[in-house]
Structure 1
Amino acid sequence: MAKSTASDPRPEEDLDHAIRQIVSRAVSSGGVVDIFAAAGLKKPDISILSDEFLEEVRSMPYKNLAVETLRKLLAGEIHGNMRTNLVRARSFAEMLERSIRAYQNHAIETAQVIDQLIEVARQMRAAQKKGEDLGLTDDEIAFYDALGVNDSAVQVLGDATLTMIARELVKTLRKNVTIDWTAKDSVKAQLRIDVKRILRKYHYPPDKQVQATQTILEQAELLCADWAETTQTGEVLN
């Protein structure tokens, strides 16, 4: 993904070091922060991508380094989402890959790819805030996204209805999944029935139900291990 030029050859270690220095200036000194993680090299925190920081990156004299800084931070955040929010991760991964590919193919200039990556960062922040504004947990917003809320046919349901669907999906699926549920055809079949029943209950567009059901079950598969572990821990404590 990294792009270098003959006039500015930089080993990966030098890029990582430079990025850590850049990010360290953007992190508040009010608490203990893992700068290596904040640089996107381990477990980045999207909250550091404030408008002020993004503008600082945009104005960096070494534009290739600015691109690499944004790419690493965004890729790290997307990687984190892959473990919890399938649809969001896929969407932003496609956006990031599309911009970087165009840049590598010289279809867009460095300044343009920086603008595009900054827009991706802002959309990531907006997606995170969306869940908070709706009062949804991380699990609930993952299923909210899995419903295909950007589809015009789905949007007619409105946020209130989509929020209720997401909450009922989490409640129903969490109660019934086990760590090995994907290996049990009978359990998978019942969960598929449960999902379809919920979608029909809220008048989800019939022509969108098959794809939505598949995506919802894929999302459940991501979260089922944590759910099952939490359930077992709760049973032990009780």
Structure 2
Amino acid sequence: KLLEPVSIFSKKFDEVVAALTSPEAKASEIEHAIRHEIHVRLEENPVFYESLKARLEKIIEERKQERISAAEELRYLNTLVEEMRNIGKTAQDLGFSETEYALYKILAADSSSSGESERFKGYVIKEPSAHYGVLPADASILTREKELQKDLTHTILETLEKLAVIDWTQKNDVQREMRRQTKYILRTKGYESDEIERLTIKIMDLARVRLAK
């Protein structure tokens, strides 16, 4: 299809899907709509939408290999739609605005992948589950680290918001100060130099999208 799909956030979307008769047609419409939203919204919450994209590709591939039925594919795709629709509630449940949630996802993804770090050694920000290598006994540690991550999210965003003057994205001196303070905060939390550089780039990219004035 070359036409822009009806947004999954529109009430009309469910009507469009319901009007289609086969699971294959419904799945195709939903896939097209999800891909469009990911393309449009990727920079707003890169970690969330990259994860969603990977899961979408996995579902499509599983169906192509006939490991799942058309009905199962449809069910999995609808799960992705619900996650996208509920991103605001997910953020709220964690005590975040959607901007804070996007930043939190960046920090959480980094600590999940950098197991060598002394700060979060053996720690993954996910619900306690043996599947993710987190045993029930680790639940209290997990909760503690999750709270620290949330505090860090609030601190960084508050700092950036104070510096985000009108047209700051065009002002090199303001951006330089944002980077400096972000790096300082991360350094005080025990992040290593390579982590600080990598995270600061991602955080500034997000800020340009979320905090532009």
Q: TM-score, normalised by structure 1?
A: 0.59
Q: 1:140 corresponds to which residue? A: 100
Give identity over the alignment, percent. 23
The 3-state SS of whatever aligns with 1:148 is helix
Q: 2:205 corresponds to which residue? A: 218
Which amino acid in 2 is paired with 1:66?
K
The 3-state SS of whatever aligns with 2:56 is helix
In the alignment, structure 1 residue 107 sits paired with structure 2 residue 65: yes
Aligned partners of 1:47 and 1:163: how far apart in 2? 33
In the alignment, structure 1 residue 151 sits paired with structure 2 residue 112: yes
For the Cα contact (< 8 Å) 1:143–1:166, is it kept in 2?
yes
Q: 2:28 corresponds to which residue? A: 68
Unaligned regions of 5+ residues in structure 1, if any?
3-11, 17-39, 229-238
Which amino acid in 1 is paired with 2:211?
C
Worse-matched range after superposition: 141-150 or 216-225? 141-150
Root mean square deviation of aligned Cα? 3.6
Aligned partners of 1:63 and 1:183: how far apart in 2? 49
Structure 1 or 2, whichever has the larger Rg, is 1
* Selected match of 1:165 from 138, 144, 152: 152
Aligned partners of 1:97 and 1:129: how far apart in 2? 25
In the alignment, structure 1 residue 45 sits paired with structure 2 residue 6: no
In the alignment, structure 1 residue 121 sits paired with structure 2 residue 108: no
* Selected match of 1:190 from 150, 174, 177: 177
* Selected match of 2:42 from 82, 103, 120: 82
Q: Could you give the per-residue CA deviations for residues 150-181 of structure 1, whole angstroms, max 9, x where no partner exists?
A: 71545366221111111122211112134544
Change (3 A) 1:47 1:90: farther
How many residues are treated as equivalent by the alignment?
Answer: 181
1:208 is displaced (CA, Å) by: 2.9
For the Cα contact (< 8 Å) 2:56–2:77, is it kept in 1?
yes
Q: TM-score, normalised by structure 2?
A: 0.65
Unaligned regions of 5+ residues in structure 2, if any?
126-141
